[in-house]
């Protein structure tokens, strides 16, 4: 049976003061916004879920660009690798070499690729790929990829109801309403911009409202995910004032 991949793009914008140094394009030449979420869905029997991206140096200077991956959520017993100036196995998180792009130059087709191997495990893994200037690591742009193996898991999301966090921006407490009666275990996880987990709340009740205090978080942008039975059923951006 022919394998099919469904590509869904959910754009989440971040507003910046300075011009963006790196631009992303898919294989058809369509621009993908910085920190967008790309969803890749595959049949349960698929052996690999691949992802390719073209990166453009949008500045007037040549740059040596590295790639870093970080895990937002990983289904256990799965594997992944990425290729950027070489290919790097599961345990390598930063490319050992850079790709040099001249002013305005765009990387070639297939120069960056992510590869996710479900190994028979159903569920959704989310990986952030960050491209940064070797001379200035703060000069960067990211994209998040949701790899989902098993259409059954996608259909289950229709059983869950989760609101956006409110209020947003948050000064003291944020709240999320949820109905996860069909889940055996669920949690609310908050990540910073590097993909590091900064907070995790186990949702002991299957229905209600979870309160998220932010008084111990620095002001800035974060991301949150509601995870039910290893499936991400809700993601969003959280702004802490």
- Tell me the pLDDT of the chain (241 aa) as tens digits: 333 333 333 333 333 334 689 999 988 888 999 988 888 877 666 789 999 999 999 999 999 999 999 998 998 899 999 999 999 988 899 999 999 999 999 999 889 999 999 988 888 899 999 999 999 998 999 999 999 886 444 444 556 889 999 999 999 999 999 998 878 889 998 888 766 788 899 998 889 999 999 998 999 888 888 888 877 788 888 899 9
The confidence score (pLDDT) of residue 143 equals: 95
Instruction: Give the distance, in angstroms, between the CA of residue 101 and the centroid of all CA atoms in the same chain.
Output: 24
Sign of the four-CA dihedral 165, 184, 73, 51: negative
pLDDT attached to residue 158: 59
Q: Where are the beta strands (DSSP E) in 31-94?
A: 31-32, 37-42, 49-57, 63-73, 79-83, 87-88
SS3 content of the chain, % helix, strand, coil (to 5): 5, 55, 40
Q: Is 205 helix (H, G, I), strand (E, B) or coil?
A: coil
Could you tell me the domains of the chain? 5-153 (2.60.40.2310), 160-240 (2.60.40.1220)
Give the contacts of 60 (CB within 8 A, at least 6 positions apart).
103, 104
Rg (CA), the chain: 18
Per the listing, tokens 């007037």 go with 60
Query: At which residue do the structure tokens 């970080």 appear?
Result: 70
What is the reported pLDDT for 19?
64
Residue among 8, 69, 74 at smallest CA distance from 38: 8
For 158, phi then psi, to 5°, come to -65, -20
pLDDT recorded at residue 157: 52
Instruction: Note the pLDDT of residue 194.
Output: 64
Residue 154's pLDDT is: 41
Provide the pLDDT for residue 232: 78
């Amino acid at each position: 049976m022919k394998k099919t991949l469904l590509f869904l793009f959910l754009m989440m914008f971040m507003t910046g003061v300075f011009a963006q140094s790196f631009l992303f394009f898919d294989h058809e030449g369509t621009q993908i916004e910085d920190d967008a979420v790309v969803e890749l869905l595959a049949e349960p029997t698929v052996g690999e879920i691949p992802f390719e991206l073209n990166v453009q140096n949008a500045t007037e200077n040549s740059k040596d660009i590295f790639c870093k991956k970080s895990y937002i959520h990983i289904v256990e017993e799965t594997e992944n690798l990425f290729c950027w100036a070489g290919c790097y196995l599961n345990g390598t998180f930063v490319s050992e070499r850079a790709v040099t792009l001249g002013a305005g130059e765009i990387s070639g087709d297939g120069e960056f690729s992510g590869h996710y191997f479900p190994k028979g495990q159903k569920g959704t893994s989310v990986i952030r790929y960050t491209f940064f200037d070797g001379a200035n690591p703060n000069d960067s742009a990211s994209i998040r990829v949701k790899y989902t193996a098993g259409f059954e898991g996608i259909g289950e999301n229709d059983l869950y109801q989760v609101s956006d966090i409110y209020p947003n921006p948050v000064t003291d407490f944020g709240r999320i309403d949820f109905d996860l009666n069909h889940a055996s275990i669920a949690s609310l996880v908050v990540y910073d911009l590097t993909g590091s987990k900064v907070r995790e709340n186990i949702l002991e009740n299957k229905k209600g409202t979870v309160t998220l205090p932010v008084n111990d978080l620095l002001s800035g942008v974060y991301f949150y995910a509601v995870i039910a039975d290893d499936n991400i059923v809700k993601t969003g951006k959280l702004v802490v004032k």
